[in-house]
Amino acid sequence: MRITDVYAGQSVFLTGHTGFKGSWLALWLAEMQARVTGYSLSVPTTPAAFDLMHLSNSMTDGRGEIADPQAVLRAMQAAAPRIVFHLAAQPIVRAGFRDPFATFATNVLGTAAVLEAARAVPSVEAVVIVTSDKVYDNEGSVWAFRESDALGGHEPYGASKAAAEIVTQVYQSAAFHRAAGSAAVARVVSARAGNVIGGGDWAADRLIPDFVRAITEGRDQVIRQPRATRPWQHVLEPLGGYLLYGAALLTGQDVPPALNFGPSDGRMPDVETVARAFVAAMAPTQTNVVVQENPHSGEAPTLRVDSSLSGHQLGWQPAWTADRAIAETAEWYAVHRAGGDMRAHSLGQLASYRRDTTVSALR
């Protein structure tokens, strides 16, 4: 099975298509000749990958509130998709501290709105709900989390994503659909990805975008958790996993209800290491990495996920190391800074990734 053969000509409903990850997924789907309908509230930043990749020319660009169930239903009915990828979210951990209610509303009720629409639209056969590696009840474990580990959250973003997982479990239940009289019963799964980096991200309070702004403005940039470790990976890594997962659903394969998609590197670099490597790759620059530790950030110092089940069930494996991910990310921003054609460059990076992957279905 090649995913290009699965998605070519298929109607795909993609929420969060104007965001960082959503834009890259829309680009990949369009490159495979899928008929993509996007649904997002707005383009979240200026500049943005969505605009620089000229994605509105290769898909239906729908706008609306993700937590409005009637608006989501109307958009999904109009698209009549065979598969839904739900990426729309409030994705920033620190923004969750500033506005917990909005974070819960978007991430929990938005997921419920998408799943409610899917059970009312007969064309929908599969739904991939994208959550986060932060759904696990993390008390500072040094062990990598597996899909069977307990869900939980000690800050609003992680808790909202864990709650979205519990909502998803309801819609995975045949007993629920019988009792609710669902018009359609799609196969529903959740995908839990690690910390992604890549070109085209300008979100506030994320490590790489913060340094991109600092480099552009010629100033230093502070990091507050230099020793924190995260499962860093290039954005194309989990997106390939989502596409494999969705293709497995569409072709009738038996797959688990949730899967992790994270790097296989035995030792993840910490925040300071990633920051310094990115700045070095963006040379010449006047930006320095300034460390100001904040022990009261509210975020877990260590996070790792075990993605071996994705390998066993889907044959998915990461293609690029953390160092390669940083280098590809820096190159994207350098080309943008030089006024390059970012759609062409992004497609070039996608082609490079597909050449490098050992997963034959993604080539």
Q: What is the pLDDT of residues 272-306, one digit of tens each?
A: 999 999 999 999 899 999 998 776 565 666 788 99
pLDDT of residue 252: 98
Pairing of β 221-223 and β 187-193: unpaired
DSSP 150: P
- pLDDT attached to residue 28: 98
Residue type, 13: F
Q: CA angle, 36 as apex, 173 and 330 as ends, to 5°? A: 100
Whole-number pLDDT of residue 299: 65
Report in angstroms the alpha-carbon separations of 335 from 3, 21, 131, 306.
29, 19, 30, 34
* 3 state SS for 175-222: HHHHHHCCCCCCEEEEEEECCEECCCCCCCCCHHHHHHHHHHHCCCEE
- What tokens appear for 183 in the block? 């018009």
pLDDT at 165: 98
Beta bridge partners of 212: none
Task: Identify the residue whose tokens are 């500033």.
Answer: 98
CATH number of the domain enclosing 280: 3.40.50.720
CB distance 221 to 214 below 8 Å = yes
Phi/psi at 157 (5° precision): -65, -55
- Please list the ranges in the chain whose pLDDT falls under 70: 265-267, 295-301
Tell me whether residue 341 is exposed, middle or buried, using C-beta atoms within 10 angstroms of its C-beta: 0 to 12, 13 to 18, 19 or more: middle
Tell me which residue range forms the domain holding 279.
Answer: 3-362
126-130 and 187-193 strand pairing: parallel
Q: What was the pLDDT predicted at 214?
A: 97
Between CA 127 and CA 186 the distance in angstroms is 7
| pLDDT at position 295 | 65
The amino acid occupying position 162 is: A
DSSP at 121 = -
Partners of 188 in beta bridges: 127
Q: Report how many domains make up the chain.
A: 1
What tens digit of pLDDT does each residue of 266-281 get?
Answer: 668 999 999 999 999 9
The torsion angle over the Cα atoms of residues 217, 22, 317 and 194, rounded to 10 degrees, is: 60
The pLDDT value recorded for residue 161 is 97
Q: Are 39 and 13 in contact (CB under 8 A)?
A: yes
Q: What is the pLDDT of residue 313?
A: 97
**3-class DSSP state of 357:** coil
